Structure 1
Amino acid sequence: MAEEDRKAMVPELRKKSRREYLAKREREKLEDLEAELADEEFLFGDVELSRHERRELKYKRRVRDLAREYRAAGEQEKLEATNRYHMPEETRGQPARAVDLVEEESGAPGEEQRRWEEARLGAASLKFGARDAASQEPKYQLVLEEEETIEFVRATQLQGDEEPSAPSLPTQAQQKESIQAVRRSLPVFPFREELLAAIANHQVLIIEGETGSGKTTQIPQYLFEEGYTKKGMKIACTQPRRVAAMSVAARVAREMGVKLGNEVGYSIRFEDCTSERTVLRYMTDGMLLREFLSEPDLASYSVVMVDEAHERTLHTDILFGLIKDVARFRPELKVLVASATLDTARFSTFFDDAPVFRIPGRRFPVDIFYTKAPEADYLEACVVSVLQIHVTQPPGDILVFLTGQEEIEAACEMLQDRCRRLGSKIRELLVLPIYANLPSDMQARIFQSTPPGARKVVVATNIAETSLTIEGIIYVLDPGFCKQKSYNPRTGMESLTVTPCSKASANQRAGRAGRVAAGKCFRLYTAWAYQHELEETTVPEIQRTSLGNVVLLLKSLGIHDLMHFDFLDPPPYETLLLALEQLYALGALNHLGELTTSGRKMAELPVDPMLSKMILASEKYSCSEEILTVAAMLSVNNSIFYRPKDKVVHADNARVNFFLPGGDHLVLLNVYTQWAESGYSSQWCYENFVQFRSMRRARDVREQLEGLLERVEVGLSSCQGDYIRVRKAITAGYFYHTARLTRSGYRTVKQQQTVFIHPNSSLFEEQPRWLLYHELVLTTKEFMRQVLEIESSWLLEVAPHYYKAKELEDPHAKKMPKKIGKTREELG
């Protein structure tokens, strides 16, 4: 065939191919649409649809009917073509006419095309009903592409105390049972009399009970009913976390039928919800420690219960030593140490072989699943796994463990976004976060009953391991990580890093799934990683944190021989020495290691020693009003500003508007001052991308500190805008944290460690010669957070005992040798 003939045929062949393709595409689209409508009618036939969904369904039916009519007309044309001549205009294979009809109806050009594309995308990820029967894909393809799903392998089972056949989820009727019936249903109730007898017969009792057994809420009530609060005595129950102290106190008040703050109250740092009538007092372990200052023998308490002792927080470990001493002095004081793990033998040995009372837990079997391969992004894996469980597993709420507020908020946002996109194609999924900075009303939502037909997913920090019991949890997702504080005494640097959790923590998390029914725990790591990479237990906090606050407290209680203090696990020798050195430098201790007058005042303030020194120094510089504000803002500094993903530029600009020459402390002062001038407005916070919740907490902290000023003999005064005085007062407290600019970047003055200004700082671009920082944290680099520009001469002014003039000289400054060169006068 000639080249010219071939070229002439190409356009015709293209047209023919195009017509065949369009005819085939038309058939496929109609089949897809009919299958999709059949599925939706089958799945959602008895579900009340929203207005938008009804309109969309009506639109799809209209398109289907038009396509059927068009197809029927085409078939009729074929029949007629055998009897008469028909002009072969190939319009049937082209969907232009149908598009035109739809465009006229919707009023949006190209709308039909967009809807078809969305429908095709939906069909790719939403396979159910007719399409599911055809493809035989797993059910979770309803939500996820095959490559997105996570493959788990069942490995082990945690045996329970109940038979697997026994599980039953709480019904609506059960949820409405009286509070007293719920109390009687708790595992601790059958042992009430035995427990009270054991407490009466022993001064110290170790209580071992699974989380959810009722020991935290019920034992203090049993003691109250038994008369331990007569003659004005009180019962103290300590919690390692303030969220737990608040939620447990609220629950007990509800069970006792009293108003929170009357007979039952809680006390946490900067918030006291108690009164003279309070006899059951839930508090953080740190608050009970501070009570030793005013009442070293705890004379107003008949019972002290140290709850969640297995968490081994810094304050809990210190409490052990102090309470052990007080118990020897006060034989009538009852001491209860409650733990949720099998580590009670150590507590028993520490308290002179105290007896252990075991409360059996209400546990069902829990199946443990591991991933086949490690997950690169555990946050994304969590979100995918939640949806996978939601679509494929029977009813039951989900508990997800993440490391902190930032991760929790990101995961909640991702889940809500994906659920929004899926609409009514999946059952309702309630996404509820829980972390320390969350307001009380939002924290309470996790304890509310899940509505019928819905599923609840609680995204929590490790507070949900033991401190909180959430009813209805059947599934647990454990990425295997937690945030852990570590401290390097050589550099004075604290780092809050994401690290693998211990096996003990992993088992606690898994146990959360077996409270109300046989559960499942999905671990987002391999079985090999569990066996070979996780530590057996978590290192006690006392061995990995700064001890300045604790040493100051112990010194103020008259405990001078810290090396021989009765620690359950002694802290590193080096960390203890550094704490003593810092307190000496701050003037809290004299050269004999005894508490000074200034040190006693510092111990009265419930803040870090450097912060309390700054507040005391504010009187000298007549700026206590401003320093109180700075101190309050520093207590919440990491959560002042927020950056919505869709308004990053606006948020950054709003933050820059608060910048003042001098540094980040003045920025915080400026934010609070402007907020106060707005009448503490929430609208002002919204407009300036400032977190109202954090500001309100800062105001509460400031009021508390202001109330303590009289006790430490500091008068209220203002610098009237002279920020040099404010900066000097801050330097008086934080002279220990200084850095200077060298040719190779910033280095700390004493340790000569290379450090960096945090990118969020107002001084990030300026690079001043001398800096003071609030804290040094290790993330991707050694970052200085909340930095302030200072002058080297101020260090000699506020801490001449700590710095020498030679240390503060610039080593790179060029100096002329003595007696070399002549003055202008000598030259004539």
Structure 2
Amino acid sequence: MAGYNNNNEGFWKPSSASSTTDEGDVAPVFNFSTAPLAQQRMLLPIYKHKRQILYSVEKFGVTVIVGETACGKSTQIPMFLYHNGWCNNGFQIVCTQPRRIAAQTLAARVAKEVGRGPLGAEVGYTVRFADRTSELTKIIYATDGILLREATLADPLLSRYSIVIVDEAHERNLNTDALCGLLKKIRRKRPDLRIVVCSATIDAEAFLDFFISKKDVEHTRKQKKRRRWDNAEPDTQPKLSTNNLNEGCIISVDGRLHEVDVLYLGHPTSNYVRTSVETALQICKTSRNNRGCGILCFLPSASEVDEAIRMTQDHLDEFEPGLANQIIILPLYAQLPFNMQARVFRSDTPGSSRIIYSTNISETSVTVPGITHVIDSGMVKLPFFDPKNDFDRLIVVPISKASAKQRSGRAGRLQAGQCYRLYTEEYFRKKMEEATPPEILRTNLSNFILSLKALGVNNILGFDLLDLPSVDALSHGLESLFALGAIDDATALTTIGQDMSSFPTEPRISRMLLESLREECSREVAGVAGALQVQSLFLTPRGSSARRQQLQIDYEAAVGEFADNSGDHVTYANILQAYDDTHMGREECKEKYVDYVALQKVIEVRNQLLGFLKRFGRVRSLGMATSKERCDAILRCVTAGFFFNVAKLHNDGRYYTIRGTNQILVTPSSSSVFNTHGSHADYIVFCNTHDGSRGGIELTAVSAINPRWLRELAPHYWK
């Protein structure tokens, strides 16, 4: 591997000072991260806006706060409001986050700063499959999906909250858009509810116009005018608040605590993974005499994170002898269990350098300590849904300017740093999009529509949204829900649909779980559903190039102990059954190439899903059923939820979807047991699709099925 010369050959810093961080305060001379917490809080740029924020929230119904990355929005604003009495009289403050890890780490940080009890006391979090709150909790960090579910199932008016803070609003995922529409609707019934919208890169005017329409503002002004002029019966007139609750304001928090120098490539790179690794190793080499460094490298997907880690391990000593002993290499992506994600937030051996290869999970909210350098590949993997072909796709695309700004800010949260952008400045200025397209314009809307139906929204087009989805996407979402039995001919929610909306899973998995009650295999199917929430239950063989071939042989032999020739879903059930029977420990799992941490997560999810299922029927296990009976029962449940995703083997030896006749690939790169241990099958069902590295649509979670089940389980869909 060719290395860079000292001074990072290939990069240059724009002479025009195009860094996004020239504005702002100069970093203090002392080490910010080791200063007392109270002093750290006072040094944050958000602190000097404290009075302005409190006044605006008191006076206006909606406050939009636009602040630089690392200014302290996510941690300080909830505490400002808490200490100013917004949690009195039994109320709580909730701050939503787009990702679980952000909600969990922010809650831990704020609990430490509040200093009155452990996490889960006054400050806690609620995310999917995890709840650290209590009766004492006043500040709650939650994912936006969890708050949406709370409004759907328990409290339509969110009456226990005095303030809802929508953080990182620029991400515009489905749950964020639905939550914003719901909050606008709730404010008509609860004008006292305060909404605070926060981000570093949003169109503040657009968000304010969404929540505060001109009609609302004009109505408020007319009421005030009438109240001043009409004194005929003052005691019987409604007493209007002096607060402008039907109006809003925008607060701009200028400045950054620490500067970040932005450097661009002089010429485009043909391999951003390799260039990322080379750049990271060069930074480590030049920083080895400077007490180490912290490098956060953004890559599009988990597979590329793993590839970069293997490449780094293979070339550490080749790059410079002895460097391997001074570097800690860590992955960070959403599919990792939380305790593995949390490793990047721990302090490591002083003097050592850290290289963290991450997806865009660390782009917003979370603060990874000790980061001095960011390497931005300029790429991200985003979900796109093709309603015409019925495919969920994960496509690697260039990031937007908003994302680039967020990424560079990761290097300036705790100290001054540098950001290496693996693209040219000309590309950034002239060709990069301003913002990432909102998720509502590019993903499957089935779950979104089901959530709105459960909220009592009958006319989806009449629901207030920041962006309206396409007719094709809405039509497909409604058709999917109808096929699953969640809505009727009039698009009204059915009993099954109401039950499906109670699960913290997408509609297809919810339908699969409900079918397990009839097949009397709920324990096994809940385990399969849990396995679909993690990237893989098997450990990927890692090691030097010389050992990798032998490791691969050992891996395939270990997988063979659990593999079922039907494919992946029954294999998942076999792994969980083996754990239940023998209680495999960490070392035994490692010997069998089973990911112990992922397995624990699957079991945790399984147990929670079984708790949901108990509301709708008796939870059973297959017990003494024969192997074929067990296999058929599990796969019938999978087919009940995923009958959209069925393919047939054609005469050319390839699989084509039944509806649409699109060719799909079951290849080694899909890491499917069906590919390595499965038997010949004319029909298969699959749970996930993605764009293959060599083109085409590839599959994960694949199993052979009996085609007769399709007409039995979804006859209306196959007419």
TM-score, normalising length from structure 1? 0.75
CA separation in 2, counterparts of 1:170 and 1:379? 35
- The amino acid across from 2:406 in the alignment is Q
The one of 468, 474, 478 equivalent to 1:580 is 478
Confirm or deny that 1:183 pairs with 2:45.
no
| Match of residue 131 from structure 2 | 272
Aligned residues of 1:292 and 1:298 also touching (Cα < 8 A): yes
The one of 381, 387, 394 equivalent to 1:489 is 387
Matches within 5 A, 1:284-683: 284-293=143-152, 294-352=154-212, 354-392=248-286, 395=290, 397-416=294-313, 418-419=315-316, 422-424=320-322, 428-448=326-346, 453-515=351-413, 519-636=417-534, 638-645=536-543, 646=548, 647-683=551-587
- The amino acid across from 2:624 in the alignment is Q
User: Secondary structure of the residue that 1:410 maps to in structure 2?
Assistant: helix
- The amino acid across from 2:680 in the alignment is Q
Confirm or deny that 1:761 pairs with 2:676.
no
Judge which range, 789-798 or 469-478, deviates more: 469-478
Judge which range, 335-344 or 752-761, deviates more: 752-761
CA separation in 2, counterparts of 1:576 and 1:705? 28
Aligned residues of 1:740 and 1:749 also touching (Cα < 8 A): yes
CA separation in 1, counterparts of 2:717 and 2:435? 40
CA separation in 2, counterparts of 1:458 and 1:771? 38
1:531 and 1:740, CA in 2 relative to 1: closer, same or farther beyond 3 A? same
Aligned residues of 1:494 and 1:778 also touching (Cα < 8 A): no
| Match of residue 591 from structure 2 | 687
- The amino acid across from 2:183 in the alignment is I
1:333 and 1:612, CA in 2 relative to 1: closer, same or farther beyond 3 A? same
CA separation in 2, counterparts of 1:459 and 1:170? 29
Q: CA deviation at 1:439?
A: 4.6
Confirm or deny that 1:242 pairs with 2:100.
yes
- The amino acid across from 2:635 in the alignment is R
Aligned residues of 1:167 and 1:516 also touching (Cα < 8 A): no
Aligned residues of 2:317 and 2:323 also touching (Cα < 8 A): no
Matches within 5 A, 1:253-264: 253-257=111-115, 258-264=117-123
| Match of residue 687 from structure 2 | 774
Confirm or deny that 1:715 pairs with 2:625.
no
Aligned residues of 2:169 and 2:202 also touching (Cα < 8 A): no
1:150 and 1:125, CA in 2 relative to 1: closer, same or farther beyond 3 A? closer
The superposition leaves residues 302-329 of structure 1 with CA deviations (integer Å, 9 ceiling, x where unpaired) of: 1110000011111111111001110121
CA separation in 1, counterparts of 2:330 and 2:646? 42
CA separation in 2, counterparts of 1:345 and 1:418? 49
Aligned residues of 1:154 and 1:369 also touching (Cα < 8 A): yes
| Match of residue 229 from structure 2 | none
| Match of residue 201 from structure 1 | 59
User: Secondary structure of the residue that 1:278 maps to in structure 2?
Assistant: coil
| Match of residue 33 from structure 1 | none
Structure 2 unaligned regions, length at least 5? 214-247
The superposition leaves residues 118-142 of structure 1 with CA deviations (integer Å, 9 ceiling, x where unpaired) of: xxxxxx999xxxxxxxxxx9647xx
| Match of residue 647 from structure 2 | 739
The superposition leaves residues 192-216 of structure 1 with CA deviations (integer Å, 9 ceiling, x where unpaired) of: 2221111111111111111211111
Please tell me whether Structure 1 or Structure 2 has the larger radius of gyration of its CA atoms.
Answer: 1
1:428 and 1:719, CA in 2 relative to 1: closer, same or farther beyond 3 A? closer
Aligned residues of 1:485 and 1:495 also touching (Cα < 8 A): yes
| Match of residue 697 from structure 1 | 601
1:781 and 1:360, CA in 2 relative to 1: closer, same or farther beyond 3 A? same
User: Secondary structure of the residue that 1:771 maps to in structure 2?
Assistant: strand
The superposition leaves residues 449-507 of structure 1 with CA deviations (integer Å, 9 ceiling, x where unpaired) of: 57654444433222332222345544321111111111100111111122111122123
1:407 and 1:753, CA in 2 relative to 1: closer, same or farther beyond 3 A? closer
Aligned residue pair count? 660
1:417 and 1:179, CA in 2 relative to 1: closer, same or farther beyond 3 A? farther
1:635 and 1:366, CA in 2 relative to 1: closer, same or farther beyond 3 A? closer
| Match of residue 221 from structure 2 | none
* Structure with the larger helix share: 1
| Match of residue 239 from structure 2 | none
Question: Which one has more relative contact order, counting CA pairs under 8 Å at least 6 apart?
Answer: 2
| Match of residue 80 from structure 1 | none
User: Secondary structure of the residue that 2:562 maps to in structure 1?
Assistant: coil
Q: What value does the CA root-mean-square deviation take over the aligned residues? A: 2.6
Aligned residues of 2:70 and 2:412 also touching (Cα < 8 A): no
Q: CA deviation at 1:413?
A: 4.3
The superposition leaves residues 390-413 of structure 1 with CA deviations (integer Å, 9 ceiling, x where unpaired) of: 334695543321223333333344
CA separation in 2, counterparts of 1:644 and 1:792? 39
Judge which range, 639-648 or 740-749, deviates more: 639-648
Aligned residues of 1:493 and 1:778 also touching (Cα < 8 A): no
The one of 192, 210, 218 equivalent to 2:76 is 218
User: Secondary structure of the residue that 2:449 maps to in structure 1?
Assistant: helix
Q: CA deviation at 1:152?
A: 1.7
User: Secondary structure of the residue that 2:423 maps to in structure 1?
Assistant: coil
Q: CA deviation at 1:365?
A: 4.8
Aligned residues of 1:161 and 1:363 also touching (Cα < 8 A): no
CA separation in 1, counterparts of 2:474 and 2:337? 36
User: Secondary structure of the residue that 2:684 maps to in structure 1?
Assistant: strand
Q: CA deviation at 1:529?
A: 3.0
The superposition leaves residues 407-435 of structure 1 with CA deviations (integer Å, 9 ceiling, x where unpaired) of: 33333444455445645579944444433
User: Secondary structure of the residue that 1:498 maps to in structure 2?
Assistant: strand
- The amino acid across from 1:732 in the alignment is A
CA separation in 2, counterparts of 1:169 and 1:666? 59
The superposition leaves residues 610-641 of structure 1 with CA deviations (integer Å, 9 ceiling, x where unpaired) of: 11111111122222222112211222253544
1:366 and 1:644, CA in 2 relative to 1: closer, same or farther beyond 3 A? closer
CA separation in 1, counterparts of 2:326 and 2:492? 62
Aligned residues of 1:310 and 1:339 also touching (Cα < 8 A): yes
Matches within 5 A, 1:51-200: 139=6, 150-155=9-14, 156-157=16-17, 158=19, 160=21, 166-167=26-27, 170-171=30-31, 175-200=33-58
CA separation in 2, counterparts of 1:125 and 1:381? 10
Q: CA deviation at 1:532?
A: 4.5
Aligned residues of 1:429 and 1:456 also touching (Cα < 8 A): yes
- The amino acid across from 1:753 in the alignment is N
- The amino acid across from 2:655 in the alignment is Y
1:500 and 1:203, CA in 2 relative to 1: closer, same or farther beyond 3 A? same
Judge which range, 545-554 or 445-454, deviates more: 445-454
1:450 and 1:700, CA in 2 relative to 1: closer, same or farther beyond 3 A? closer
CA separation in 2, counterparts of 1:255 and 1:163? 24
1:651 and 1:169, CA in 2 relative to 1: closer, same or farther beyond 3 A? farther
Aligned residues of 1:719 and 1:726 also touching (Cα < 8 A): no
Aligned residues of 1:747 and 1:753 also touching (Cα < 8 A): yes
CA separation in 1, counterparts of 2:657 and 2:340? 42
The superposition leaves residues 647-704 of structure 1 with CA deviations (integer Å, 9 ceiling, x where unpaired) of: 1111122112222232221111111111222214222211110111111110010010
CA separation in 2, counterparts of 1:502 and 1:717? 49
User: Secondary structure of the residue that 2:674 maps to in structure 1?
Assistant: coil
| Match of residue 88 from structure 1 | none
1:235 and 1:752, CA in 2 relative to 1: closer, same or farther beyond 3 A? same
User: Secondary structure of the residue that 2:673 maps to in structure 1?
Assistant: coil
